[in-house]
Amino acid sequence: MPAHSSHPSPQSEVVVSWRPSAEFSGNVYRAEGTVPACPEDVWECIKPVAGGLRTKWDQNVKDFEVVETVSDAVSVCRTTTPSAFMRIISPREFVDVVLMKQYEDGTMLSAATNVEHPQCPPQPNFVRGFNYPCGCFCIPLPGEPDKTQLLSFFQTDLGGYLPQTVVDSFFPASIAGFYSNLTKAVKALKA
């Protein structure tokens, strides 16, 4: 995968790599890191559910709503983001079909991709962005119950008219921030 990569800083154990996406004109980002908490606590912080913790700790998620529940595992969700990158990136909204799954080995998965939904027409004060197939895997580490491997894939078209250089500068730092804020959130959950 690594066409480019940024190596972890001492405080965060996350490695981000990327290459051109096969889905759209941007990049697919892969992030892998270890979060110092059990998989259940990590999942509690990242699971895409109404009233979940994500809006409290993730600086890139302002609001999250479930538009339609298709089944226990599948829902259509709308996520809004605040302005970012010194306000160069204005607020965005994303409408996705989201799948949640737990595997026999204890791995928990949240996967999503963009979808159109009649109850979610584009809102005037947001730029509509598009998530291409993406997801997070919370993977238990054998013999280390208080650690979780978090493997994430992001393929986001932010929409609008952003120069690619802005997008390329924003994502690696944003993903590293996601891991460090998640680490703080799981510590706070246990406090």
Mean pLDDT (the chain, rounded): 90
Separation CA 92–CA 127 (nearest Å): 5
Tell whether the model's pLDDT for residue 4 goes beyond 80. no
Give per-residue pLDDT as tens, 83-135.
Answer: 987 888 899 999 999 999 999 999 999 999 999 999 999 999 999 999 999 99
Average pLDDT over residues 35-64: 93
Q: Which band of pLDDT confidence, cut at 50, 70 and 90, is reported for residue 21?
A: very high
Question: What are residue 43's phi and psi, to 5 degrees?
Answer: -60, -40
What 3-state DSSP class applies to 171?
Answer: helix
Pairing of strands 4-6, 14-20: antiparallel
Q: What is the pLDDT of residue 34?
A: 95
pTM, whole model, 2 decimals?
0.89
Query: Helices (H) and strands (E) in the chain — how many of each?
Result: 3, 12
Average pLDDT over residues 57-78: 95
